[in-house]
Amino acid sequence: MSRRLVARRRRTYPTHMSVATTEHPATAEVRTEHFDTIVVGAGLSGIAAEYHLQTQLPNKSYLIIEGRESIGGTWDLFRYPGIRSDSDMYTLGYQFAPWSASKAIAPGPDILNYIRDTASKHGIDAKIRFGQRAVSANWSSTDQRWTLDVTSGPDKVPVRYTCSFLFMCSGYYNYSAGYTPEWTDFDRYRGTIVHPQQWPEHLDYAGKRVIVIGSGATAVTLAPEMARVASHVTMLQRSPTYIFSRAAEDVAANWLKEKFPGKLGRGLARWKNILLSMTFYGLSRKRPELIKKLIRKGAQRQIGPDFDIDTHLTPTYAPWDQRMCLVPDGDLFKAIRSGAVSIVTDHIERFTETGILLKSGKTLEADVIVTATGLNMQLMGGMKIAVDGDTIDLGKSLSYKGMMYSDVPNLASSFGYTNASWTLKCELIAKHVCRLLKYMDKRGLASATPRRDASLTEEASLDLQSGYVLRAQGVLPKQGSRQPWKLYQNYLRDIALLRYGKVPHSALEFAKRKRTKKARSAKLARRSA
């Protein structure tokens, strides 16, 4: 990628989270199509949503709108070297399509193929309209339906849909650009700058000096991977992250699958990992000192006794105040031990023409700088959401069961766990949406609207202290102090609430289906017959 192109891209990076409010072009002559349910997004959660909808309610009509030209969302967008899951695929994979490969920590391309294969096997791909970006959605209480304004293709041709239920599976970040902090003299640097969210296809870093800025999941993946061919990789971090090693191949899961062939073995492997990750999280919160000690011991053993763990691998916060990073087979630790990767913990004073000057006075020289500095969180795929023409500020709304929003009828969104695999929660949400739709159908109900109770105390919805979450606090919905408004980030509690808990609740206000002109005349015709 030419420097000029990089510089142009750099200037366009937004530095704050945005809930975009792009206006739809004039839509005077736009044809409108109606579907019972529209799913926005064909990533991991959109495919799960459609699978459950079409399986549980096969007589309904569905459409999936996907802004990009392909399936897979995150797993199609991110193309940086070494991209992989950082949670195990037995739980990141779908319950209805158990992961069968031997590697539990799987490469990104394998995950993408898995999503594509699942969509094709269940005929879901045929329901996706690609290149269609939902721009706004307005609920009409009179018509008891959503109207979605969508732009189609590169020319942004206006398209309009209506639906009775809107299921947002649009992920949690802005696809157009990742987050890049504002650094002094960033533009002075003459080498190549790359953000992992927009990885240039043919970036050549063989034999080059690389700096990876960041210490999150992307940085710890990139550093050892790039070090395979780079002359050296420096991981430059402001502060350390908890990093622990785990085998990429899950020996116990593979044993279970071998011992109990078929569904049973894969189910056991999945439950083993669900329970293990819950235990690890629970222990981290209850006995942080013990977990800190274990992580420290593991890192020291793999990197070697001379490495300064206190400075580079000992965060000031408790385990799980921010997401922890997993390195499969200790690849990062091995690369540090071999000298191919080094960690520098310091602050950036400014960029120079050839590298970075640090606050300590030290200079790092580089041919390539990777800004693994995170995402810009974005809800609702940047869509403007309105109810009867009034725009909803989701930052002021309260999340109901972690899937609906106060005062917004017939809208659910898929938002996964921050402390376990995303898909675990997304599938529970999809199943609960199916139960809600069945409940409403049976009783002739047209809408369900969560209404908040004035006695609730509001809390931040995510208790992570990660930069991308803190930057987004103003626009993230809040959670309440008790169920069903409270988010426990706990799979077993959510099974009880979403899978087996009652659908109706005093906080959920239902409205009867209005008789349309067509239905009224059909009834009259039936009577007179």
Contact residues for ligand FAD, defined by CB under 6 A: 40-46, 65-68, 73-74, 78, 85-87, 92, 133-134, 169-171, 175, 218, 381-383, 414, 416, 421-422
- What gap in Å lies between CA 514 and CA 519, rounded to an integer? 9
CB of 262 to ligand FAD, least distance (A): 25
Measured from the CB atom, is 65 or 436 closer to ligand FAD? 65
Taking the complex as a whole, the smallest distance from the CB of residue 22 to ligand FAD amounts, in Å, to 9
Residue with smaller CB distance to ligand FAD, 111 or 236: 111
Taking the least distance from each CB to ligand FAD, the nearer of 364 and 394 is 394
C-alpha distances out from residue 460 to 425, 475, 480, Å: 19, 10, 9
Name the residue nearer to ligand FAD (CB basis): 99 or 422.
422
Q: For residue 371, list its beta bridge partners.
A: 213
Distance of alpha carbon 99 from alpha carbon 253, whole angstroms? 11
Nearer Cβ to ligand FAD (164/170):
170
**How far is the CA of 404 from the CAs of 72, 148, 380, 400, 484, in angstroms?**
24, 18, 12, 5, 10
Q: What are phi and psi of 448, to 5 degrees?
A: -130, 125
Question: Please, what is the minimum distance in Å from the beta carbon of residue 482 to ligand FAD?
Answer: 26
> With respect to ligand FAD, which residue has the nearer C-beta, 364 or 411?
411
Q: Are 356 and 363 in contact (CB under 8 A)?
A: yes
- Are 32 and 202 in contact by the 8 Å Cβ rule? The answer is no
Min dist CB 222 to ligand FAD, Å, is 10
Instruction: Identify the CA nearest to 134 among candidates 112, 106, 110, 161.
Output: 161
What count of other Cβ atoms lies within 10 Å of the Cβ of residue 474? 11
Instruction: Pick left, alpha or beta for residue 498 (phi over 0 → left; psi -120 to 50 → alpha; otherwise beta).
Output: alpha
Q: Which residue carries 């409108």 as its tokens?
A: 32
| Shortest distance (Å) from residue 168 CB to ligand FAD | 8
Shortest Cβ 375–ligand FAD spacing (Å): 6
CB of 421 to ligand FAD, least distance (A): 4
Give the 3-state secondary structure of residue 84: strand
Whose Cβ is closer to ligand FAD: residue 80's or residue 186's?
A: 80
521 touches 495 (CB < 8 A) = no
Least Å distance, CB 67 to ligand FAD, is 3
- Nearer to ligand FAD by Cβ, of 349 and 395: the residue is 395
Q: What letter does residue 129 receive in the DSSP assignment?
A: E
Nearer to ligand FAD, 107 or 337 (CB): 107
- As measured in angstroms, the least distance from the Cβ of 196 to ligand FAD is 7
- DSSP per residue, 232-293: EEEEEESS---EEEE-SB-HHHHHHHHHSTTHHHHHHHHHHHHHHHHHHHHHHHH-HHHHHH
343 SS3 class: strand
What is the β-pairing status of strands 128-129 and 368-371? unpaired
Q: Give me the least distance between CB of 50 and ligand FAD, in Å please.
A: 11
CB of 362 to ligand FAD, least distance (A): 30
Residue 175 CB, shortest distance to ligand FAD, in Å, is 5
What SS3 class is residue 49? helix
For residue 479, the minimal CB distance to ligand FAD (Å) is: 19
Using only the alpha carbons of the chain, give its radius of gyration: 24
Select 54 or 87, whichever has its Cβ closest to ligand FAD. 87
d(CA 175, CA 197): 8
Q: Environment class of residue 529 by beta-carbon count within 10 Å: exposed (0-12), middle (13-18) or buried (19+)?
A: exposed
If the CB atoms of residues 74 and 234 are measured against ligand FAD, the closer one turns out to be: 74
Nearest CA to 195 out of 467, 466, 68, 13 is that of 13
Residue placing its CB nearer to ligand FAD in the complex, 86 or 250: 86
- Quick one: tokens of 237? 């971090």
Enter the DSSP assignment of 370.
E
Residue (257 or 425) nearer to ligand FAD, CB: 425
